[in-house]
């Protein structure tokens, strides 16, 4: 888990990806790598997600490929078998968190309240996702949580864009931010990898500027 947090801290911004065609995984991974953005969260919301993750993790091993929207231990197991380096869930999901701890797999569960943060701390976690970040208070919420939970690191996700990512990355309790703006579904569907590359390069610049 320590390595996972350090890696995500260095990268700063994690593209949240919804992928419909597994064959897009390799060119997309290569695009992110070319742009210098070495992380990806493949959300398990599509039929193609597990295969796409497997392809991206094996074909572009330089990337820190995570599985997102993991709602069950079975999906966590599938994702890890495919090469996922970390498991991310939208909520504080006890079954998923415990499966990951038992199997020594880094897990970043979503939290929206102090009680959920405390539950994760009791499980021994020191990084969680704030989700949906903008809806549950965003930067103000993270500032408030820094008081009682000084050791907890967050990966806010949900409603983050190039316009507000700097405010998040400037906070000492933010390890990294997640966001879907880097890989818009339309660009992926139309194979516009050059446009994705431009957005990924911009994200790399933003991460560097605010770190
Ligand atoms: C999600 O689960 O869809 C992520 O939180 C991404 O949110 P975003 O689309 O607001 O970046």
Question: Residue 24: inside a domain, yes or no?
Answer: yes
Number of C-alpha atoms within 13 angstroms, CB side, residue 66?
29
Task: Tell me the per-residue pLDDT of 176-205, one tens digit each, with 9 for 90 and over.
Answer: 999 999 999 999 999 999 999 999 999 999
Which atom of ligand 1 is the closest one to the Cα of 161?
Answer: 11
Residues 6+ apart with CB under 8 A from 16: 41, 43, 68, 157, 178, 179, 180, 183
Question: Residue 197: inside a domain, yes or no?
Answer: yes
Question: Residue 151: inside a domain, yes or no?
Answer: no
Task: Tell me the per-residue pLDDT of 90-104, one tens digit each, with 9 for 90 and over.
Answer: 999 999 999 999 999
Sheet holding 107-111, edge to edge: 153-154, 127-130, 107-111, 86-89, 64-68, 39-43, 13-17, 177-179
Report pLDDT for 1.
74
- Show the ligand 1 pocket: residues with CB < 6 angstroms: 16, 90, 131, 157-160, 178-181
Domain hosting 183: range is 2-107+160-209
Residue 193 maps to which CATH number?
3.20.20.70
Question: Residue 138: inside a domain, yes or no?
Answer: no
Question: Residue 59: inside a domain, yes or no?
Answer: yes
Interstrand relation of 39-43 and 13-17 (parallel, antiparallel or unpaired): parallel
Cα 91 to averaged position of ligand 1 atoms, centre (Å): 13
pLDDT band of residue 2 (cuts 50, 70, 90) is confident
Choice among 41, 85, 134, 197 that is catalytic: 41
Total domains in the chain come to: 1
pLDDT band of residue 160 (cuts 50, 70, 90) is very high
Question: Residue 90: inside a domain, yes or no?
Answer: yes
Mean of pLDDT over the chain? 97
Cα 158 to averaged position of ligand 1 atoms, centre (Å): 4
Question: Residue 152: inside a domain, yes or no?
Answer: no
Report pLDDT for 23.
97
Question: Catalytic site residue 51?
Answer: no
Question: Residue 139: inside a domain, yes or no?
Answer: no
């Amino acid at each position: 888990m320590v390595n996972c947090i350090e890696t995500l801290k260095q990268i700063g911004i994690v593209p949240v990806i919804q992928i419909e065609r597994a064959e897009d995984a390799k060119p997309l991974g290569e695009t992110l790598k070319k742009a210098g953005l070495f992380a990806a969260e493949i959300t398990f919301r599509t039929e193609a997600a597990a295969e796409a993750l497997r392809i991206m993790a094996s074909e572009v091993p330089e990337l820190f490929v995570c599985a997102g929207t993991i709602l069950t231990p079975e999906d966590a197991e599938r994702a890890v078998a495919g090469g996922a380096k970390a498991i991310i869930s939208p909520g504080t999901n006890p079954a998923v968190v415990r499966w990951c701890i038992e199997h020594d797999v880094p897990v970043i569960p979503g939290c929206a309240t102090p009680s959920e943060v405390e539950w994760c701390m009791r499980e021994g976690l020191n990084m969680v996702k704030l989700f949906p970040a903008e809806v549950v208070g965003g930067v103000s919420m993270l500032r408030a949580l820094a008081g009682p939970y000084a050791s907890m690191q967050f990966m806010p996700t949900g409603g983050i864009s190039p316009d507000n990512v700097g405010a998040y990355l400037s906070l000492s309790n933010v390890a990294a931010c997640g966001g879907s703006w880097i890989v818009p579904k339309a660009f992926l569907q139309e194979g516009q990898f050059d446009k994705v590359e431009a957005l990924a390069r911009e994200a790399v610049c933003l991460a560097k500027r605010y770190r």
